[in-house]
Structure 1
Amino acid sequence: MITIKLNGRQQTLDADPGMPLLWAIRDLIGLTGTKFGCGIAQCGACTVHVDGVPTRSCQTPLSSLGSAEVTTIEAITGPVAAAVQEAWTKLAVPQCGYCQSGQVMAAMALLSENKTPSDADIDAAMAGNLCRCATYARIRTAIHDAARALA
């Protein structure tokens, strides 16, 4: 048994401590907003926040979490979340949508730290979040739009 703090609640799981967080979230807890993409922490589809830091859950063993707070796409709230969600919707960012939970989690982390990101800041923060539909221009525009809304 292992206990993690997920979306503000303690979750006790009958899981191997080496199990990747992604599979605990999806298969044991039943939250499917966090996606499996590549399994090697290269695509960003599985991004969650661990103590506010964007983290690839496919390569994060449960045992590494300790008392850290894990937040998934299902539990995002607050002004940054609202601004990002509004911009994503207004600009029709998703095409197929598969990567978008990871994209949103990375964008939120950026805007939580930097309220006025440059294109270079956005590129650095979003690097490694792959979009097979290539909506990168809309993602960048949406991040700038969300930043303006937060100003």
Structure 2
Amino acid sequence: MLLKEQDILLGQEFATKEEAIRKAGEVLVANGYVDSEYVDAMLERENIVSTYMGNFIAIPHGTDDAKKSIKNTGISVLQIPGGVSFASPEDTEDKLVFIIFGLAGKDGEHLELLSKIAIFCSDQENVVKLFSAKTKEEVINLLSE
């Protein structure tokens, strides 16, 4: 997983999951991974099916139709110390998220990225390390292991 410092935002705060997803998408746009239309597709995907993965993480990504908006495979990582709820009105649990991975995969590479993130974050201790990271370099080192 090739991460650069500009892919990472630490100490973020969001009132809603939509704000958080939009920011994750804006990082992908700013770093040249996707066109701006991809951000709307990320929000659309969230309306179709939640990108909340458990263990306090969410992995928002675009719909299948949005593949044409992807220029290069890329990832954004947002650390949200106060958390943001990814719960839908019908959910009985809160689905609090502290780490967001915005994802854009070219030519099916998103499946490999999803798998790597899922394996890393299946260990809650790893999520705590990401949550506690003080520098972008620390995040890069954790996710490069």
Same fold at TM > 0.5: no
Structure-1-length-normalised TM-score: 0.29
For the pair shown, the structure with the greater C-alpha radius of gyration is: 1
Structure-2-length-normalised TM-score: 0.30
State the structure with bigger RCO (CA 8 A, min sep 6), 1 or 2.
Answer: 2
